[in-house]
Amino acid sequence: MAARTFSLSPDGRWIASSGPDDGARVWDATTGDLRAVLSGHHARVASVDFSLDGRTLATGGWDGAARLWDLATLDLPVDALARDAEATWGLSLADALDR
Protein backbone atom coordinates (compact mmCIF):
# COMPACT_ATOMS: atom_id res chain seq x y z
CA MET A 1 0.00 0.00 0.00
CA ALA A 2 1.33 3.45 -0.90
CA ALA A 3 2.08 5.85 1.92
CA ARG A 4 -0.43 8.61 2.50
CA THR A 5 -0.02 11.85 4.35
CA PHE A 6 -2.66 13.88 6.15
CA SER A 7 -2.80 17.37 7.59
CA LEU A 8 -5.48 19.14 9.64
CA SER A 9 -5.87 22.89 9.11
CA PRO A 10 -5.10 25.02 12.18
CA ASP A 11 -8.76 26.00 12.54
CA GLY A 12 -9.90 22.37 12.28
CA ARG A 13 -12.00 23.12 9.20
CA TRP A 14 -10.15 21.15 6.51
CA ILE A 15 -8.27 17.87 6.22
CA ALA A 16 -5.82 17.48 3.35
CA SER A 17 -4.60 14.11 2.16
CA SER A 18 -2.21 12.73 -0.39
CA GLY A 19 -2.43 9.31 -1.91
CA PRO A 20 -0.95 7.03 -4.53
CA ASP A 21 -1.79 9.37 -7.42
CA ASP A 22 -0.79 12.86 -8.54
CA GLY A 23 -3.62 14.66 -6.72
CA ALA A 24 -4.15 15.99 -3.22
CA ARG A 25 -7.59 16.02 -1.69
CA VAL A 26 -9.24 18.49 0.65
CA TRP A 27 -12.03 17.26 2.90
CA ASP A 28 -14.47 19.13 5.11
CA ALA A 29 -13.39 18.05 8.61
CA THR A 30 -16.91 18.49 10.00
CA THR A 31 -18.93 16.57 7.41
CA GLY A 32 -16.26 14.38 5.83
CA ASP A 33 -17.31 15.61 2.38
CA LEU A 34 -14.67 15.77 -0.34
CA ARG A 35 -14.38 19.46 -1.30
CA ALA A 36 -11.59 19.42 -3.88
CA VAL A 37 -9.15 17.27 -5.77
CA LEU A 38 -6.07 19.38 -6.45
CA SER A 39 -4.24 18.22 -9.54
CA GLY A 40 -1.15 19.75 -11.06
CA HIS A 41 1.68 17.50 -9.98
CA HIS A 42 3.11 15.07 -12.53
CA ALA A 43 3.88 12.34 -10.01
CA ARG A 44 2.57 11.15 -6.66
CA VAL A 45 1.91 13.82 -4.04
CA ALA A 46 4.22 13.01 -1.15
CA SER A 47 3.32 15.72 1.38
CA VAL A 48 0.55 18.12 2.33
CA ASP A 49 0.60 20.86 4.95
CA PHE A 50 -1.41 23.96 5.78
CA SER A 51 -0.03 27.44 6.36
CA LEU A 52 -0.27 28.76 9.90
CA ASP A 53 -3.29 30.90 8.99
CA GLY A 54 -4.99 27.91 7.30
CA ARG A 55 -5.66 29.78 4.06
CA THR A 56 -3.04 28.04 1.94
CA LEU A 57 -2.20 24.40 1.39
CA ALA A 58 1.30 23.41 0.32
CA THR A 59 1.85 20.16 -1.54
CA GLY A 60 5.08 18.48 -2.52
CA GLY A 61 5.31 15.83 -5.17
CA TRP A 62 7.71 13.19 -6.38
CA ASP A 63 7.96 15.33 -9.51
CA GLY A 64 10.17 17.70 -7.48
CA ALA A 65 7.56 20.45 -7.47
CA ALA A 66 6.06 22.30 -4.55
CA ARG A 67 2.67 23.92 -5.10
CA LEU A 68 0.63 26.40 -3.10
CA TRP A 69 -3.17 26.27 -3.20
CA ASP A 70 -5.48 29.11 -2.14
CA LEU A 71 -8.24 27.50 -0.10
CA ALA A 72 -10.51 30.57 -0.26
CA THR A 73 -11.76 29.28 -3.61
CA LEU A 74 -13.35 26.30 -1.83
CA ASP A 75 -15.91 28.68 -0.34
CA LEU A 76 -16.88 30.29 -3.66
CA PRO A 77 -20.12 29.23 -5.33
CA VAL A 78 -19.77 27.56 -8.72
CA ASP A 79 -21.35 30.49 -10.57
CA ALA A 80 -18.71 32.87 -9.13
CA LEU A 81 -15.95 30.55 -10.29
CA ALA A 82 -17.53 30.36 -13.75
CA ARG A 83 -17.70 34.18 -13.95
CA ASP A 84 -14.04 34.43 -12.95
CA ALA A 85 -13.06 31.88 -15.58
CA GLU A 86 -15.05 33.73 -18.24
CA ALA A 87 -13.41 37.03 -17.31
CA THR A 88 -9.97 35.43 -17.39
CA TRP A 89 -10.24 33.36 -20.57
CA GLY A 90 -13.04 35.12 -22.43
CA LEU A 91 -15.11 31.95 -22.74
CA SER A 92 -18.20 30.82 -20.95
CA LEU A 93 -17.93 27.52 -19.16
CA ALA A 94 -20.25 25.92 -21.75
CA ASP A 95 -18.09 27.21 -24.62
CA ALA A 96 -14.89 26.01 -22.95
CA LEU A 97 -16.34 22.53 -22.43
CA ASP A 98 -17.44 22.31 -26.09
CA ARG A 99 -13.89 22.74 -27.37
Residue 79 located in a structural domain:
no
> Mean pLDDT throughout 19-27?
85
Q: What pLDDT does residue 1 have?
A: 45
What predicted TM-score, i.e. pTM, was given to this entire model? 0.71
* Percent of the chain at pLDDT exceeding 90: 28
Residue 92 located in a structural domain:
no
In sequence order, what E strands does 1-99 have?
6-8, 14-18, 23-28, 34-39, 45-50, 56-61, 66-70
Question: Within 10 Å of residue 68's Cβ, how many Cβ atoms?
Answer: 9
Strand partners, 60: 47, 66
Note down the domain range covering 33.
6-74
Residue 90 located in a structural domain:
no
The number of folded domains in the chain is: 1
Q: Are 9 and 50 in contact (CB under 8 A)?
A: yes
